[in-house]
């Protein structure tokens, strides 16, 4: 991958601004025709590592974690939905929607990177959670999504049962936090600089242009 711009995207699959930020970044890459000149690796980040298996109702979660009122929550959903729609992503929030634990998703994403299908799986999981009303902490759901990008049921079950892989992925997530990353999405450019938040397409474009110039 020498000569390519390395983009590490630290994110969680239940983070709405992570898919919005990626769509902005993707649009900047396409506008500059850099598809073959960037290498993207999605890095694990658990927004709620202590989330129990049953999850937590989303409105109750944002009220507890951020002190948001129902009106705040409603406005946030409207803003997120509009921001997604501008770049072709459909958010479909619904009553009873839950926030869930994502460690199993990150384990499968780790393997998907090894087989060159990580972005494909990441997009599947974003759509499953935000558009298709699926519980992506449910292993049956995860396994079906993984099958779409070429991970067999047997492979997925083996990965999810491997405590060593689980510990390694959790350690990776912890390592990014130890480096000072506390908010997602964060995009790290060539392991030298970073932008946090769903930055505008134009901002990503400017950074990418500077990196291309440096390489030239």
Percentage of residues in the chain having pLDDT higher than 90: 98
pTM for this entry: 0.96
pLDDT per residue as tens digits for the range 47-79: 999 999 999 999 999 999 999 999 999 999 999
Distance between CA atoms of residues 136 and 1, nearest Å: 32
Please report whether residue 209 resides in a domain. yes
Please report whether residue 140 resides in a domain. no
Q: What HEC string does 131-170 produce?
A: CCCCCCCCHHHHHHHHHHCCCCHHHHHHHHHCHHHHHHHH
Residues 6 or more apart whose CB falls under 8 angstroms from that of 152 comprise: none
Weakest mean pLDDT among 1-15, 62-76, 191-205: 1-15
Please report whether residue 150 resides in a domain. no
Please report whether residue 130 resides in a domain. no
What is the span of the domain harbouring residue 212? 181-216
Please report whether residue 213 resides in a domain. yes
Would you state the pLDDT for residue 216?
A: 87
Please report whether residue 132 resides in a domain. no
Would you state the pLDDT for residue 39?
A: 97
How does the average pLDDT of the chain come out, rounded?
96
Percentage of residues in the chain having pLDDT higher than 70: 99
Please report whether residue 8 resides in a domain. no
Q: What's the total number of domains in the chain? A: 1
Would you state the pLDDT for residue 2?
A: 57
End-to-end CA distance of the chain: give it in Å, rounded: 16
Please report whether residue 51 resides in a domain. no
Q: What is the mean pLDDT of the segment spanning 12-33?
A: 98
């Amino acid at each position: 991958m020498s000569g390519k711009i390395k983009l590490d995207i630290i994110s969680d699959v239940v983070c709405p601004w992570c898919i919005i930020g990626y769509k902005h970044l993707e649009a900047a890459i396409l506008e500059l025709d850099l598809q073959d000149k960037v290498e993207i690796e999605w890095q694990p980040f658990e927004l709620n590592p202590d989330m129990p298996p049953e999850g937590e109702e989303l409105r109750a979660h944002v009220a507890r974690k951020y002190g948001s009122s129902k009106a705040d929550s409603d406005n946030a959903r409207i803003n997120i939905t509009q921001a997604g729609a501008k770049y072709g992503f459909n958010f479909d929030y619904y009553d009873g929607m839950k926030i869930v634990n994502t460690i199993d998703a990150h384990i499968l994403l780790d393997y998907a990177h090894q087989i060159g299908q990580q972005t494909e799986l990441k997009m599947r999981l974003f759509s499953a959670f935000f558009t298709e009303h699926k519980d992506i902490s449910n292993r049956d759901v995860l396994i079906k999504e993984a099958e779409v990008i070429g991970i067999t049921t047997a492979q997925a079950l083996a990965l999810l049962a491997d405590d060593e892989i689980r510990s390694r992925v959790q350690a990776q997530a912890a390592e990014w936090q130890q480096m000072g990353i506390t908010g997602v999405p964060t995009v790290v450019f060539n392991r030298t600089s970073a932008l946090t938040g769903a930055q505008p397409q134009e901002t990503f474009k400017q950074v990418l242009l500077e990196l291309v110039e440096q390489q030239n």
